Structures are given as C-alpha cells and as structure tokens.
Amino acid sequence: MDIGAYIVNLIQSGMGSLASYLAAHVLLCLVPAFFIAGGLSALVPKEAVTKFLGRKAPKIIAYPTAVLAGSTLAVCSCTIVPLFAGIYMRGAGLGPAITFLFFAPAGNILALSYTGVALGADFAIARIILCIVFGIGIGLIMSAIFSRDDLAHAEADDTTYVGQEGLRLTTLCFLVGMVALLLVGTLKVDLLLDTYAKFTIPLQGFDQFQDFLYRLVPFDASKGEEGVTAQGAILIGFLGLIGVTAWRGLGRVDEGFSGWTYVSLSLIALTLVIAAVRMEPTSTGLDIHLTGKMFGIILVMAALGYMARKCFDSYEIQQWLWETWRFIKLIFPLLVVGVFAVGVIRHFIRPEWIEAVAGQNTILGNLAGVVFGVFMYFPTLVEVPIAKMFLTLGMHPGPLLAYLMADPELSLQSILITASIIGRLKAWTYVAWVALFSATSGMIYGAWTDGASAWTLLAYLGIFLIILIFVLYLVNRRNHSLEEKIATTKEICRND
C-alpha cells in the first residue's frame, strides 16, 4: 500500500473523529460543564465542599455523597472531567472526587436504565452494584496511597472564592440551574426530543452538502462511529467564532466587561439553541425542527441570565467567567489532542479481534474488554448498543461487562486531562485500578453467567474485598508511620 495514502487515511480518521465529536458532543455537554466548573471555583466557598466531600469529612458521608451526585449526571468520561476538576479544586478530598469521577459516567440513572432495556436487568443490576462497590473502593485506595498529597491539597491556600461567607441559596440555585442546562441538553426523553414546530429554509444544495460531508468523513454507524452532518458543520463554524471572541471576551474579563464579552456570550447562547434544534437537509432546503430540547435550553438560559443580573455583582460574574475560561484553556486542548489520537488508533483496531479474544470468560478476555473501552471511545450511552452488538457477535458476558465498566470511565483524552489536574502519577494509578476493577467485575459476572452459585460469587467478592481492606490497612499504617516521623522531626528541629 502507498505510504502517503496510508498516512492520509490515518489523518482523515483522526480528523473525522475530532470533527464528529466537536459537532455532536461539545456544545450541549461540555459547554455547560465548563460553566458549572467555573461556578464551583468562583462562587462556592471551600468550606461548602469540604463539609461533605473534604478529606476530613466522615467517609460514611463523603463517599455516598459522591455516588449520589454522580448518579444524576448522564455524561461521558470527557464531560465529567471539568466537574471533577471543579470540586477537586474547591477542596474535595481525592478519594470522594475520584469516586465521583468513576461513578458518574457508568452508574448514572440514565446509563443504568438504558443498560437494563437493551441488555437485560441482570446487566443493569450487576453494573450498579459493582459501580458502587468498586467506585468507593477505588476512591478509598487513591485516598490512602496519596494521603500526604491529599493533606497538602487540603491545606493549600484558597484565594479564588469571591462570594460572601457560606454557600448562599442564590448560588446553590444558580448552580442547580446550570446542571439543569446540562441535563436538558443531554437527556434522551420524548418530551425533549419531540418536534413541536417546523419550518424550512428554502436554500437548495444542503442535501448535496450533506453527501459531501459523508464522503469527506466516512464512518460506520454499526461500529458506533458518527459522521459530520450539515448541522454539525454549522456548529463547528460557530465554535470557531466562539473561540476567537472568547479569547478576548472571557480571557480578559477579569479586567472588566467589554464588547467582546457580550459578543462571545451571545454566540454561546445562540450556538446552544442551534445545537438543540434538529436539522434535516432536503432537495428543497433545510428543514428546521423546533424540539422540546430547544425550548428547554432557551427557558433555562433565560432564568440563568436573570439570576446572574439580579443575584450577583459584576465582580462575581467576572470571576465566574474568568474561571470558566481557565478550565477551557486547561482541558479543551488536551481533549482535542486525545480525540484526534483515538481516531487514529481506531483505524488500527478491529472489533473482531476483541470478539475473538473475549469469547470466553478469561483474564485475557476481560482485559481485552477493558483495553477496547479505552481506545475505542464512544460518547455517553453509545457504549450500550455497541455492547449489544458485541453480545450478538459472540463476546462473553463477562468481558462485555468489563467493557461496559471501562468504556465510560476511561478514554485516552480523559486520561490526559485528568493527569493535567491531579498529576501523571495519580492519574495513571487511577487508570490501573479502574482497569483491575473492571476486569474483576467481568470475571465475577462472567462466572455467574457460566453457572457459578451465588455463594461462590459472594466468596469471590468477599475475598477481593478482604484483600482490598488489607491493602488499605497496610497503606494507612505506612502513611501514619511516615506522618509520625515527620512530626517528630519537626519537633526536634523546633527544640534545636
């Protein structure tokens, strides 16, 4: 094969992955997540987070709170990272923050419901139980291993909060409103998806433009790949305009509001509305379907705009927007690099390889399911129909569950972003534990589907938990010994 043509195919695969991701998932998922993270950083006092999720919060409160918070968010591994960064930088302990990061993509209510409908109640029940147990377990392990770093993080000076003492009710309502914006944009329910009005823009050529995009970015829908629609191309163009205007409008908003600020915010609002409608190119023009999602987006944004003007002063809004821009600068470039790299890697990986390896409930098969989940990233909920396809092609239920556990948690881009927030060592340690726990989940569930008794499964799980508790005990003992030595050394230095 011609090397030049092969390289072009790789670049085309990467660009196709990036274009389809930007067109379909950035706006209604990531944009609200960035604004929520900025609000957490600028408007919420550290004490309000540490009370429930901090290092010193009782574990019996912190970890269930992290699970409960994650259960309501139907988001993917990329969208959850800004929210994870927001609570972690506000003072959440590493353990509860990691539990939130793990649980939200795979254990949220929508993902579990969809799993039950598509794959059966047994898959959904196994997924929720293992997500809770292993999500809390990974959080406890990370907290124990990096307890000294976690202590330093908890004691770090907090200088970004601009509100009054305590969490105000208006701030809480404002954050709930932004979460509602995220949910309205991502929930797949008839009320939001149905069309309530329709009109046609009489411009010919949109159908040809759509065919051109499908040829430019070829895709296989049966493998969960997404092409670029005409609407997606329009949204990518608006994203470019937002980037140009936000660089000055939001990047310098800490110096005061400017015309660029209002232009960038207006473009963001308009683009969210465009993303919420449904467009269908035809030979006579472009059909615009006004969906319930569009009306919901407009209503929530109007309420947020009213609250921002009436409940917060200018300096608080400036800091909120500036913190949002800071998260965008930190996360978005890594996201772009990661999504492009995944598109290139997917060109090499063939699903039939995984199916051949994962046809039986073996350690190798379950690890193959985990690896597939990492490098064949799919947006939230798409992993469920892909899993159904693999099940019909002969993948064993055990490795299939391992894939379902790993795919929402881990993707190359989310790993890169997480590393930029908590450091490479912590991030790759987290990845290793997720891979181990996901493979263990598959082994346990696979054994059950192969006919193992409930007592045998409980014994397996019990042994695993006993080993986990013993490891945590040893790590805590080591950390406690180190802290005592450090305290003794400091005391000797003071006495001298």
- 164-193 pLDDT, tens digit per residue, is 556 788 888 998 898 888 888 877 788 888
Give pLDDT, residue 439: 86
104-153 pLDDT tens trace: 777 776 677 667 766 777 777 877 888 888 888 888 888 888 877 777 77
Give pLDDT, residue 486: 60
Say which residue, 139 or 385, is predicted with more confidence: 139
Q: Which of 78-82, 88-92, 223-227, 436-440 has the lowest mean pLDDT?
A: 223-227
Residue 306 region, left (φ>0) first, then alpha (ψ -120 to 50), else beta?
Answer: alpha
Cα–Cα distance between 302 and 305 in angstroms, integer?
A: 5
Is residue 447 pLDDT above 80, yes or no? yes
Q: Is the dihedral of CA 183, 189, 193, 194 positive or negative?
A: negative
Give pLDDT, residue 261: 93
Is residue 391 pLDDT above 60, yes or no? yes
Rounded to an integer, the average pLDDT of 346-370 is: 76
Cα–Cα distance between 346 and 373 in angstroms, integer?
A: 11
Say which residue, 141 or 51, is predicted with more confidence: 141
Pairing of strands 278-282, 195-201: unpaired
Say which residue, 90 or 290, is predicted with more confidence: 290
Give pLDDT, residue 462: 78
Say which residue, 405 or 76, is predicted with more confidence: 405
Is residue 92 pLDDT above 60, yes or no? yes
Helix axes 363-375, 314-346, angle to 10 degrees: 120
Give pLDDT, residue 225: 61
Instruction: Tell me which residue of 348, 323, 33 sits closest to 179, measured CA to CA.
Output: 33
Is residue 269 pLDDT above 90, yes or no? yes
Confidence of residue 490 (pLDDT cuts 50, 70, 90): low
Give pLDDT, residue 210: 86
% the chain with pLDDT above 70: 81
471-484 pLDDT tens trace: 767 766 766 666 56
Is residue 362 pLDDT above 90, yes or no? no
Say which residue, 111 or 53, is predicted with more confidence: 53
Is residue 349 pLDDT above 80, yes or no? no
Instruction: Tell me which residue of 365, 383, 384 sits closest to 374, measured CA to CA.
Output: 383
Give pLDDT, residue 428: 87
Cα–Cα distance between 263 and 81 in angstroms, integer?
A: 27
Which tokens belong to 285? Answer: 């023009």
Say which residue, 6 or 369, is predicted with more confidence: 369
Amino acid at 407: D
Instruction: Tell me which residue of 57, 138, 147, 55 sits closest to 478, measured CA to CA.
Output: 147
Cβ–Cβ under 8 Å, residues 19 and 11: no
309 CB-near residues (< 8 Å, 6+ apart): none
Is residue 235 pLDDT above 90, yes or no? no
Confidence of residue 195 (pLDDT cuts 50, 70, 90): very high
Rounded to an integer, the average pLDDT of 356-382 is: 75
Is residue 328 pLDDT above 90, yes or no? no
Rounded to an integer, the average pLDDT of 10-14 is: 73
Rounded to an integer, the average pLDDT of 182-206 is: 86
Give pLDDT, residue 22: 73
